[in-house]
Amino acid sequence: MSPMARTVVGIDVGGTFTDIAILEDGRLRVHKLPSTPDDPSRNVQRGVAEAGIKSPLSGMGDGEISAEFVHGSTVATNALLEGKGGRTALITTQGFEDVLEIGRQNRAELYNLDLERPAPLAPAGLRFGLAERVDYTGAILHDLERRDLEQIIARLEAAQVDGVAVSFLFSFLNPLHEEMVLRAMEGMARQPFISLSSRVLPEFREYERTSTVVVNSYVGPVMARYLGRLEQALGHGLRIMQSSGGSITARLAAEQPVRTILSGPAGGVVGAFYTGVQAGYPDLITLDMGGTSTDVSLCPGRIKETTAATLGGYPISVPMIEIHTVGAGGGSIARVDSGGALVVGPQSAGADPGPACYGKGDQLTVTDANLVLGRLRPDQFLGGRLTLDRRRSEELMTALAARIGVTVEQTALGIVRVVNANMERAVRTISLERGYDPRRFTLLPFGGAGPMHCCELAQELGIPRVLVPAYPGILSALGVAIADVVKDYSRTVMLRGDDIQRARLEEEYHGMEGQAREELRQEGLPVAQMRPRRSLDVRYQGQSFELPIDYPGASRRIDLKRAIAASFYKAHLQRFGYADRAQPVEVVNLRLKLELAVDKPAATPEPEGPADPRAALLDHAEVVFASGRQATPMYLRERLRCGNCIPGPALVLQMDSTTVVAPGWTGVADAWGNLVLERS
């Protein structure tokens, strides 16, 4: 990104809507339009054009603005979850062709006797073993034979594969054989997408490493085509959001698309954390409720990352923001199951046909329930650009109510309660089950539907405060736009005891930084302005999994080994509730993150005004809550001023979302344009 860029456009493509956040000289404006699932790039281009934005490489008309683009993409995610990636082969060390089938003994559902694991992305007929071997020190025990490699390449050409993943044992210590395979395959008549584990994930654990590199090759052809179309339309300055919360160039994203698997949700957490810190609430539980799903993340004064994620049943071990996803969104479909119980999700009506009230589909959703309850206004949706069909929702709700044997209002309230319970379980998973008390955090809801459910969720979880951002429906796009440029590197070292020496670690880090700076220099990034962040993966000796800690620093006055152990014991106590300080530790992986800070919006706090919000009052409406039907004032969000106090019940309407201030809650507009909700 050019440090002097005056206009940055953040684009987040969701399952239902495409959101665009435009930063112009520190000021923010937003745009929102329905997504086109068959080709997400089509409505990206349309939305950019509607907003009057052009790329620097495009011809510009009158009134159009030149910009740089940052994109949060769900293309790789959808290709993986929907099974629409390329035909993928795996080349590995002979005897390890079935590592994807064998996996580990972990069971996602311990007591489910009919649990079926997802089929390997590289089927048995496309998994090939080569007679090569590198030992645990990186020494070559058995050289790779060119003749054997040529035979496999011939079989790959005959199979017409789209992608090839290469993952040899201990290639993270010596990548020579993987590089030989890459050079040999460059002459193939039909060039597939090739991924090397030594480049994508140079770490130990052959199953997770192999799974990650296979996912990369599986989604690679789809992502490369998509990014190619976008670059043609938007220019070569395009950057792509990573799952770790930073952006990279489109070329790097095309080479390692596995790093973009949680691209859009990561942008949401970045935007939420930026908003919370600005407002003075750094301890957050973020809740992104969109059209198809809800993503939750816990930020205890920082954005938490993990390298042990699973998506669609496939382990992915690249750095990601810790995000837990459930199938609970505005488009989640409500139905009665075979036992007569009301079920909501995980199936979604998506963008097309969408909820019944959109006028196309006939599936009853959470959005329809909110409309029937009066919490959504038919003439105010998307700022009035889309009028919702309330009669259609009521007809379908009446039919469902007849099946259940309760009233229409009770059915709609039941749908809301069920979807809230799904989200409540998700929040408990990332908080209570990880040793964090949700009562010590602020809930920050966003996405189009998040602010409609936030008060009821916070009340059930005992969360004392809700912070609704100025543009909740566009927050992911804002996070994408303000995300720093970030590149992640890792290296397995396996150091224990007296081997944990500062000189050894510094030497390894200097080598990683040299490699990183050279790669980033080739990308045209201002390497001198990028700041490094070092961290370690540490565990008890013999333990199965590691915990990340910050590198203790460069001061030679610190006893490095003791400092590493102390940080690990503290992290272990937080995560698992105990720490055995008598047990020795080992350093497993070194991690390096290079960051280039980008300009953030130059927001100026608004001076406090009167508490009376009458200047923002639009009208009154009948709204149904758990306590019954109540006459409820409706306010326009853009007319609220700092200090305005809104007692519940109330609806706060804006283009990208509706905030429901529940009975017993009060909202106050703060100096940054947020709405702070607390129990009365």
Rounded to an integer, the average pLDDT of 291-304 is 92
Please write the tens of the pLDDT for every residue from 433-478: 888 999 999 999 999 899 999 999 999 999 999 999 999 999 999 9
* Cβ contact 250:462 at 8 Å: no
Name the more confident of 650 and 354: 650
Helices (H) and strands (E) in the chain, counts: 16, 36
Which tens digits make up the pLDDT trace of 9-36?
Answer: 999 887 678 889 888 877 788 888 877 7
- The predicted structure's pLDDT at residue 58: 47
pLDDT-wise least confident of 405-409, 423-427, 597-601:
597-601
Q: Strands, DSSP E only, in 383-457? A: 442-446
Chain centre to alpha carbon of residue 542: 32
CATH number of 485-596: 3.30.1490
Report, as an integer, the average pLDDT of 298-303: 95
Order of strands across the sheet that contains 193-196? 127-130, 88-93, 163-167, 193-196
Give the pLDDT band of residue 134 (cuts 50, 70, 90). Answer: very high
Using CA atoms, how far residue 21 sits from 5, 17, 71, 480, in Å, is 15, 13, 10, 9
Give the mean pLDDT of 366-386: 90
Side-chain half-sphere CA neighbours of 517 within 13 A:
12
Q: The dihedral of CA 646, 650, 652, 656: what is its sign?
A: positive
Bond before 649 cis per omega within 30 degrees? yes
Percent of the chain, pLDDT > 70? Answer: 96
Here the tokens at position 339 are 């036992």
User: Where are the domains positioned within the chain?
Assistant: 485-596, 614-679
Mean pLDDT, residues 593-609 taken together: 84
CB environment 142-176: b (16+ within 10 A), e (fewer)? eebeeeebeebbeebeeeebbbbbbbbbbbbbbbe
For the ranges 133-147, 244-258, 342-356, 652-666, the lowest mean pLDDT is seen at 342-356
- How confident is the model at residue 57, as a pLDDT? 45
Mean pLDDT, to the nearest integer, of 277-291? 94
Q: CA-to-CA distance for 228 and 236, rounded, in angstroms?
A: 10
Exposure class string for 30-49: b at 16+ Cβ within 10 A, else e: bbbbbbbbeebbebbeebbe
CA 246 to chain centre: 11
Mean pLDDT, range 368-384, rounded to an integer: 90
Answer for the pair 591, 489: CB distance below 8 angstroms, yes or no: yes
- Residue at 437: amino acid letter: D
Residues paired with residue 131 on neighbouring β-strands, in sequence order:
none
DSSP 108: S
Give the pLDDT mean for 325-351: 87
Residue 430 identity: I
pLDDT band per the 50, 70, 90 thresholds, residue 659: very high
Q: Is 257 helix (H, G, I), strand (E, B) or coil?
A: helix
Count how many residues are written for the chain: 680
Question: Between residues 38 and 530, which one has the greater pLDDT?
Answer: 530
Rounded to the nearest 10 degrees, how much is the dihedral formed by the CA atoms of 440, 446, 450, 452?
100
Strand-pairing partners, residue 13, are 18
pLDDT at 341 over 50: yes
Token pair of 479 as six digits: 């996070």
pLDDT of the residue at 396: 94
Q: Retrieve residue 570's tokens.
A: 């503290």
Residue 66 has pLDDT above 90, yes or no: no
Task: Identify which has the larger pLDDT, 317 or 293.
Answer: 317
pLDDT at 60 > cutoff 50 = no
Give the pLDDT confidence score for residue 4 in this predicted structure.
Answer: 39
Q: Which of 51-65, 237-251, 637-651 has the lowest mean pLDDT?
A: 51-65
Q: Give the pLDDT confidence score for residue 206 in this predicted structure.
A: 92
Three-state DSSP class for 165?
strand
Per-residue CA distances from 322 to 84, 300, 307, 434 (Å)? 25, 12, 9, 12
Q: Rounded to whole angstroms, how far apart are CA atoms 303 and 611?
A: 34
Contact status, residue 161 vs residue 88, Cβ threshold 8 Å? yes
Mean pLDDT of the region 415-429: 95
Q: Which of 453, 433, 446 has the alpha carbon at shortest distance from 286?
A: 446
pLDDT band at 92 (very low <50, low <70, confident <90, very high): very high
Alpha-carbon distance 371 to 9, whole Å?
A: 32
Residue pair 348/468 in contact (Cβ under 8 Å)? The answer is no
Nearest C-alpha neighbor of 19 from the set 499, 477, 566: 477
pLDDT of residue 553 exceeding 80:
no
Residue 611: burial class (beta carbons within 10 Å; 0-12, 13-18, 19+): exposed
Mean pLDDT, all residues of the chain: 89
Average pLDDT (641-653) is 95
H/E segment holding residue 559: none
Instruction: Assess whether pLDDT exceeds 60 at residue 602.
Output: yes
264-to-295, 426, 446, 478, 587 alpha-carbon distances in Å:
10, 18, 13, 11, 32
Q: Which two tokens stand for residue 540?
A: 């008890």
pTM: 0.89
Q: For the chain, give the longest Cα–Cα distance.
A: 82
Q: Provide mean pLDDT across the span 529-541.
A: 92
- Using DSSP's 3-state secondary structure scheme, residue 640 falls into coil
Q: According to the 3-state scheme, what is the secondary structure of 43-102? A: HHHHHHHHCCEECCCCCCCCCCEECEEEEECCHHHHHHHCCCCCCEEEEEECCCCCHHHH
pLDDT of 59 over the 70 cut: no
Alpha-helical segments (H) within 523-587: 560-576
Mean per-residue pLDDT for 75-90? 88
CA contacts within 13 A on the Cβ side of 71: 35
Kind and range of the H or E run holding 490:
strand 485-496
Q: Which two tokens stand for residue 52?
A: 């009057």
Is-contact 90 228, C-beta < 8 A? Answer: no
Helix then strand then coil, % of the chain, to nearest 5: 35, 30, 35
pLDDT of residue 375: 95
- Determine the Cα–Cα distance for residues 395 and 398; give it in Å rounded to an integer: 5
Segment 56-65 shows an average pLDDT of 46
Within 10 angstroms of residue 204's Cβ, the number of other Cβ atoms is: 17
